[in-house]
Amino acid sequence: MEIEPQVKEEEKTEIEVQAPTHTLTKKRRVIVEPRLKPVSYKASDLKVGNSISRTPAAIINSMQFFTNEDNPLNRRGYKYKPCKPNPELKSTMYSTTDLPPYCVRPSYFDKSSGILLDTNVTSVSNTSGWRSIRSNVGVREGKWYFEFKVLSGNDGTGHVRLGVGRREASLEAPIGCDGYGYGIRDVNGQKVTLSRPKPFMDEGFKTGDVMGVLIDLPSLEDHYKSFEQELKAAENKFNVHGNIVRDQIPIKYKSSLYFEQFEFTPIENMTKLLNPIKVIGERLSSFDEDIQLPKIPGSSLKVYKNGKLMGTMFEELFSFLPIPGNLAQIQNQSFRDCDDGTLGYYPMISVYNQAVVEMNAGPEFALKELPQGVRPLCERYDEHVVEQWYFDLVDEVESQYLDGLEGQ
């Protein structure tokens, strides 16, 4: 992967930095564009680790559920993840960390404030209305399988929707209310995206059923190749090499440290697909007559019920890459529209009126044997940790480089 420093190129000249054996290629009249710089940490910050707040909220289905109001939630165009001081990183000063349990599970931060978590952080519920939550780890390529067990739902009280969603999917509504999520309804087994239910299963699902999801995404290399011409035409140097650009800044929130980043928000064209109206009183004859959002060639979602394949729920999922058709966010208009490593699809749960769903990332499933080439989602966690560590180092190298230019 190439590192693309945030500098404007001019004529090159060699200068020495730090030691005679190290040289830095500097450009004449270099302009280092404005960037976020962290505030130095205190010695006491090295001794204090992040923790999760647990405030008992309700007993549902004989299970204790809690809220975590003292932790920041992803909303209003921003997202958060735990960080800690790292004396080895001289420029960025902080590195990414995580909170227990250290596995693929429902997220502490990527959820509606109305979502409740159990003590094991595997089951979710709420007290009223539709609320949603994503997992803490997503997928960008490959074949992955995971399951949801309905502990309470579609039995006369609560209801659930299960599936996958992107970063832009609403957490204050059920999966499939927009084009950023793909879900299945418990009542009649309908599939839904863009708020348009369509027949899928002949039967629904309820308390005691285990619903499995197999998501199949091509490699990122093939995914990017599908839109190679669009990327070149966009002339965005931060995207053409498949770079990861993480504009993040450490903040202190209620005595704990977190990285704050811009969150990906809906784009105007997706909103038009959801509400296909050209002008007042005039409807489009079809959803994609004028709007063609990029899709992932060869991608698919398959659904299993109690270990039995029910069929392919969706194919050709909308692309999550920062390519021209996915840009121009309505809310974060100053966002540079580049991949920060979090783009992808995430297991997503929506619950209504005290329904309870348990997420299972494996390795043990109701499905006795995974299809060839399919991996349990639990294996994605270690990859995710390595990715965060790797990009922390990349950010440090780039930041030191820019510090050197600014000091000349």
Domains, the chain, ordered by start: 12-406 (2.60.120.920)
Share of the chain residues as helix, strand and coil, in percent rounded to the nearest 5: 15, 35, 50
- Write the pLDDT tens digit of every residue in 169-208: 999 999 999 999 999 999 999 999 999 999 999 999 999 9
pLDDT of residue 322: 84
Q: Where are the beta strands (DSSP E) in 18-129?
A: 19-27, 55-60, 63-67, 78-85, 94-96, 106-111, 116-118, 123-125
| pLDDT above 80 for 13 | no
Helices (H), 150-208: none
Nearest to 154 by CA among 355, 350, 20, 4: 355
Q: How far is CA 330 from CA 170, 205, 285, in A?
A: 14, 36, 25
Residues 376, 104: Cα–Cα separation, whole Å: 10
Nearest to 294 by CA among 347, 349, 234: 234
- Judged by average pLDDT, the poorest of 29-38, 47-56, 206-215, 340-349 is 29-38
- Write the pLDDT tens digit of every residue in 71-112: 999 988 899 999 999 999 999 999 999 999 999 999 999 999
Tokens 């121009």 locate to: 328
Query: Looking at residues 325-347, what average pLDDT do you find?
Result: 77
Nearest to 134 by CA among 103, 163, 93, 102: 163
192 beta partners: 183, 197
- Write the pLDDT tens digit of every residue in 38-73: 989 988 888 777 788 899 999 999 999 999 988 999
